[in-house]
Amino acid sequence: MGLRILYFLFTFLLLLLSRSSCCDLNSTTATKHRHRWVEPTVARTVVVDAAGSGDFLSVQKAVDSIPENNTIRVVIQIKPGSYIEKVVVPVTKPYVTFQGAGRDVTSIEWHDRAGDRGPDGQQLRTYNTASVTVLANYFAARNISFKNTAPAPLPGMEGWQAAAFRISGDKAYFSGCGFYGAQDTLCDDAGRHYFKDCYIEGSIDFVFGNGRSMYKDCELHSIANQFGSIAAQDRNSACERTGFAFVNCRVTGTGKLYVGRAMGQYSRIVFAYTYFDDVIAPGGWDDWDHTSNKNKTVFFGLYKCWGPGAGAVHGVPWARELDFATARPFLVKSFVNGRHWLNPSDA
Ligand SMILES: *[C@@H]1O[C@H](CO)[C@@H](O)[C@H](O)[C@H]1NC(C)=O
Ligand SMILES: *[C@@H]1O[C@H](CO)[C@@H](O)[C@H](O)[C@H]1NC(C)=O
Ligand SMILES: *[C@@H]1O[C@H](CO)[C@@H](O)[C@H](O)[C@H]1NC(C)=O
Ligand SMILES: *[C@@H]1O[C@H](CO)[C@@H](O)[C@H](O)[C@H]1NC(C)=O
């Protein structure tokens, strides 16, 4: 008995120590916890139907109906239809699920661009353009599409960033979702996220931000007509554990395409077991500004990718083929501490 208590005290101290040193955070290896994922015992479903047979006509009205600081999962079931509205899930409303009827039949869409003026007369800027913005933790979306329908910018046009979705909450799960836009489609802003079987379409930096995210079995589809880019990751110091891991994905569409760009000085992007169509720009990767030597501090990795574009993604010396030991943390759901918050049957 005494030994057991000592053991727990010891583990606790170790945990405290590992938390206090910032640059332990440089590693992607999660601290060893004993928690397991626990099935939420209570859930409530509300129905949104534009045709009138549900509880609400709009998605935002359904979100508004959820009490602040709610502690049970609320499934918002969204019937087939295009819901033309801008939606925000505020930080005070965790455990919300958007359940569509299929990503080809249920969508939420809006059309704001960064250069458009908001209600206060100021330009919106990219982060406020998203058709759907989620600030809360424990969000989930299944079988639904999110679109920004602003027209794609021509090369050189300013202020046309137009996000379809922004996720700023922690522990968010997406499955069978579609994200449609052109420049800056999916703002993977902050927190741990898992995307499974999703379709993401865009032209420039169409997955961007400083999230710590795994994209598993997703299609990344470019609609760029000259040059485009997939991922712009914004990790800003070696101490941050953020990064994008694309595992078993497919890269398709039109190019020429950079697969990753160094938005932050310590940008971290890995593609593993991913198929690349013949759409990759020479070099394959972009250092964003050519002045801050990001090519010395970024972590751009590849592991066992394939397809006609797979040669071109090895086009610069600062994006390297990883060995198994280095790749492994990016191949498993523990990259996002998934064991603690993902349903085992979901990931
Ligand atoms: C972070 O990790 C990288 C790669 O393993 C290493 O080169 C770098 O020195 C580490 N940074 C710190 C501050 O520990
Ligand atoms: C929700 O929680 C916050 C923080 O604890 C608190 O300030 C707020 O009053 C709560 N709201 C409600 C409606 O209980
Ligand atoms: C989502 O759609 C897929 C494919 O149509 C279907 O197999 C799955 O059951 C759906 N899942 C949910 C939770 O609706
Ligand atoms: C790294 O970037 C600097 C500044 O743009 C450039 O001069 C240098 O050639 C690059 N190094 C490599 C290996 O690409």
**What value does the mean pLDDT take over residues 259-275?**
98
> From the CA of 68, how far away is ligand 2's center (Å)?
7
pLDDT over threshold 60, residue 22: no
> From the CA of 100, how far away is ligand 3's center (Å)?
9
Q: Whose CA is nearest to atom 8 of ligand 1?
A: 238
Cβ of residue 26 lying under 6 Å from some atom of ligand 1:
yes
Cα separation, 282 vs 304, in Å, equals 19
Q: Which ligand sits nearest to residue 322's alpha carbon? A: 1
Q: Which ligand sits nearest to residue 69's alpha carbon? A: 2
> From the CA of 288, how far away is ligand 4's center (Å)?
12
Please compute Rg for the chain using Cα positions.
21
- The answer to whether 331 and 305 are in contact (CB under 8 A) is no
Of residues 170, 184, 188, 205, which has the active-site annotation? 205
Q: Which residue is associated with the tokens 């938005």? A: 263
Cα separation, 221 vs 183, in Å, equals 12
Tell me: the pLDDT tens digits for 24-54?
444 444 444 555 666 566 789 999 999 999 9
- What is the pLDDT at residue 274? 98
Question: Which pLDDT band, with edges at 50, 70 and 90, does 194 fall under?
Answer: very high
24 classed as catalytic: no
**Closest alpha carbon to 219 in 184, 258, 180:** 180
Cβ of residue 293 lying under 6 Å from some atom of ligand 1:
no
- At position 72, the amino acid (one-letter code) is I
Tell me: the pLDDT tens digits for 94-149?
999 999 999 999 999 999 999 999 999 999 999 999 999 999 999 999 999 999 99
Cα separation, 286 vs 174, in Å, equals 28
Among 64, 68, 135, residue to substitute to test ligand 2 (most atoms within 8 Å of Cβ):
68
Task: Look up the pTM and report it.
Answer: 0.88
Which two structure tokens, joined as six digits, stand for 345?
């049957």
Q: Which ligand sits nearest to residue 75's alpha carbon? A: 3
